[in-house]
């Protein structure tokens, strides 16, 4: 068994169990939480390097033969998602020190369990275990959403729980139908089944629909703004980097394997992608507070990622992979800046902030500016490279209206980011009372690091572009991954 493949799932679970059994200690929680997640980052980086060398690391848990054992396997796409989510979790735990959310006894164990679920979902080769790992992600997220027990948060949690229960029911129904048709839930054995069987295609469509709900694609997105806007600042950062990304990963993996490149239904994906982009960005323009603007942009940026799936060419899938990586980093940075403003000034409503915080919070303004430029797609940031790659792929193999949407939505994104800049940072000094002391390093360091990464990935994009291209090739032709998990 390849222990390194299991480590990203096992390490957080062990650390969470220790924290739940040990006497309450914030210091111990921080050491174990950050330490175990840092080890997951290292393991994910090593696994990514191995996949880039052409290997598909596989672990069969339980000692059973293929088809019965729990199989975990990683190609480049899975390893990138694993590394990305582990890095965001690590910085989110550091950021939670600054917001004070990690003082809640159950906060760190819940985050670690959620992280283990994401790691398992991005590496499992079995539909039922994918369902289990997705639920492992969701169950602690329900609790994290209501930690403060404010009435508003509980109301948001009800919507979140209801919608995700519906999605889970659809997914489980799709698994049952597919098992009834094929007699297996092992993804390797299901390769291409939806391309040649109408009942299997129906079952696969149910799976994609369920993951579409969890990814917050339009018109299945309304749960996201209502839920994320009421979570704590650090919880929102973690949710932005983990929850919908599990759904997106599953959409790409399931379509690549089950439909095996079948292009008959890709026009539907492109329509949904463009609608998601447009509805999300228009919602952002109409929002009047920092977090609602950013949650609306989460929806819009998910549409950009889906454009690559809708194209399903190597160039399109590579562009989507690059876009996904940089978008998660940028969005986490923006949520961190917004959360820091909220923690220090008690509000994120633009009318109450009144602008002018650049005079007090220069480094927060720098972090926001770098991340916002990347979100819009202004050079020399990673967002420019990502949108250029996506536009090039759309121009080569997609309809004209997809390319138009990619460009037009970026222009409207600029309008909404300027609204945030003017409402929070620009102008005369803020009328709000100045908070005591400087911004804590734990609040300021993570967003600055992520915003800096957005600039570095724009100036030095080639390594990530190369990795994204390998991921795109493996998604377009998943035969190596299929062979590895059925061996």
Please check whether residue 173 lies inside any domain of the structure. no
pLDDT digits (tens, 9 = 90+) for 276-302: 999 999 999 988 888 999 999 999 999
Which strand (E) or helix (H) includes residue 344?
Answer: helix 314-345
For residues 283 and 277, give the distance between their C-alpha atoms in angstroms, rounded to a whole number.
10
- The total number of structural domains that make up the chain: 1
Q: Place 63 in a pLDDT band, splitting at 50, 70 and 90.
A: low
CA proximity to 391, closest of 404, 379, 378, 382: 404
Please check whether residue 97 lies inside any domain of the structure. no
| Predicted pLDDT at 359 | 82
For residues 105 and 102, give the distance between their C-alpha atoms in angstroms, rounded to a whole number.
7
Please check whether residue 277 lies inside any domain of the structure. yes
Residues 6+ apart with CB under 8 A from 173: 206
pLDDT at 209 over 90: yes
CA proximity to 317, closest of 482, 478, 94: 478
pLDDT at 483 over 70: yes
Please check whether residue 243 lies inside any domain of the structure. no
| Angle, CA 281 vertex, CA 444 and CA 215 arms, to 5° | 80
Structure tokens at 285: 């323009």
| 418-439 mean pLDDT | 79
CB-CB contact of 141 with 112 (8 Å): no
Please check whether residue 348 lies inside any domain of the structure. yes
Question: Percent of the chain having pLDDT more than 90?
Answer: 67
Please check whether residue 414 lies inside any domain of the structure. yes
The pTM assigned to this predicted structure is 0.94
| Predicted pLDDT at 244 | 84
CA proximity to 326, closest of 374, 281, 366, 367: 374
| Predicted pLDDT at 451 | 96
Q: Place 77 in a pLDDT band, splitting at 50, 70 and 90.
A: very high
Please check whether residue 295 lies inside any domain of the structure. yes
pLDDT digits (tens, 9 = 90+) for 81-113: 999 999 999 999 999 999 988 888 899 999 999
| Predicted pLDDT at 150 | 59
Question: Percent of the chain having pLDDT more than 70?
Answer: 95
CA proximity to 474, closest of 353, 314, 357: 314
Residues 6+ apart with CB under 8 A from 149: none
| 416-429 mean pLDDT | 86
199 burial level (CB within 10 Å; 0-12, 13-18, 19+)? middle
Domain range for 345 is 264-487
3 state DSSP class of 227:
helix
Please check whether residue 470 lies inside any domain of the structure. yes
| Predicted pLDDT at 261 | 77
pLDDT digits (tens, 9 = 90+) for 229-283: 778 899 999 998 888 889 999 999 999 999 987 888 899 999 999 999 999 999 9
Quote the mean pLDDT of the chain: 90
């Amino acid at each position: 068994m390849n222990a390194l493949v299991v480590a990203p799932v096992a390490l957080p679970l062990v650390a969470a169990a220790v924290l739940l059994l040990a006497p309450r200690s914030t210091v111990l929680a921080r050491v174990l939480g950050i330490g175990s997640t840092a080890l997951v980052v290292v393991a994910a980086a090593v696994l990514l390097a191995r996949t880039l060398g052409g290997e598909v690391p596989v672990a069969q848990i339980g000692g059973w033969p293929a088809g019965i054992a729990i199989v975990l396997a990683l190609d480049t796409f899975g390893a990138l998602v694993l590394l990305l989510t582990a890095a965001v979790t690590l910085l989110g735990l550091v950021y939670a020190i600054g917001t004070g959310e990690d003082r809640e006894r159950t906060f760190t164990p819940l985050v670690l369990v959620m992280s283990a679920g994401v790691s398992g979902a991005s590496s499992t080769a079995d539909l039922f275990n994918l369902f289990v790992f997705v639920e492992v992600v969701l169950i602690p997220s329900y609790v994290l959403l209501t930690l403060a027990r404010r009435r508003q948060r509980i109301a948001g949690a009800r919507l979140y729980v209801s919608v995700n229960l519906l999605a889970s029911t659809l997914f489980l129904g799709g698994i049952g139908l597919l098992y009834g048709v094929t007699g297996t839930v092992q993804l390797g054995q299901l390769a291409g089944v939806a391309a040649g069987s109408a009942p299997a295609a129906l079952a696969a469509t149910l799976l994609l629909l369920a993951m579409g709900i969890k990814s917050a694609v339009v018109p299945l997105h309304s749960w996201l703004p209502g839920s994320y806007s009421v979570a704590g600042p650090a919880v929102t950062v973690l949710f932005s980097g983990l929850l919908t990304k599990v759904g997106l990963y599953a959409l790409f993996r399931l379509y690549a394997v089950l439909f095996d490149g079948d292009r008959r239904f890709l026009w539907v994906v492109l329509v949904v992608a463009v609608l998601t982009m447009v509805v999300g960005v228009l919602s952002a323009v109409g929002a009047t507070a920092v977090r609602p603007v950013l949650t609306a942009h989460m929806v819009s940026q998910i549409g950009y990622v889906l454009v690559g799936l809708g194209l399903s060419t190597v160039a399109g899938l590579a562009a989507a992979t690059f876009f996904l990586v940089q978008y998660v980093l940028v969005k986490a940075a923006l949520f961190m800046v917004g959360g820091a403003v909220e923690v220090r000034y008690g509000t994120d409503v633009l009318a109450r902030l009144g602008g002018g915080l650049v005079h007090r919070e220069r480094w927060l303004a720098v972090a926001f500016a770098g991340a916002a430029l990347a979100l819009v797609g202004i050079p020399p940031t990673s967002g420019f490279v990502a949108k250029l790659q996506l536009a090039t792929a759309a121009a080569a193999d997609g309809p004209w209206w997809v390319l138009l949407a990619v460009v037009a939505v970026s222009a409207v994104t600029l309008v909404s980011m300027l609204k945030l800049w003017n409402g929070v940072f620009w102008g005369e000094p803020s009328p709000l009372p100045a908070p005591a002391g400087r911004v804590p390093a734990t609040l300021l360091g993570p967003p600055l690091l992520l915003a800096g990464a957005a600039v570095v990935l724009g100036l030095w994009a080639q390594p990530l572009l190369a990795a994204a291209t390998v991921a795109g090739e493996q998604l377009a032709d998943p035969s190596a991954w299929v062979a590895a998990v059925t061996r």
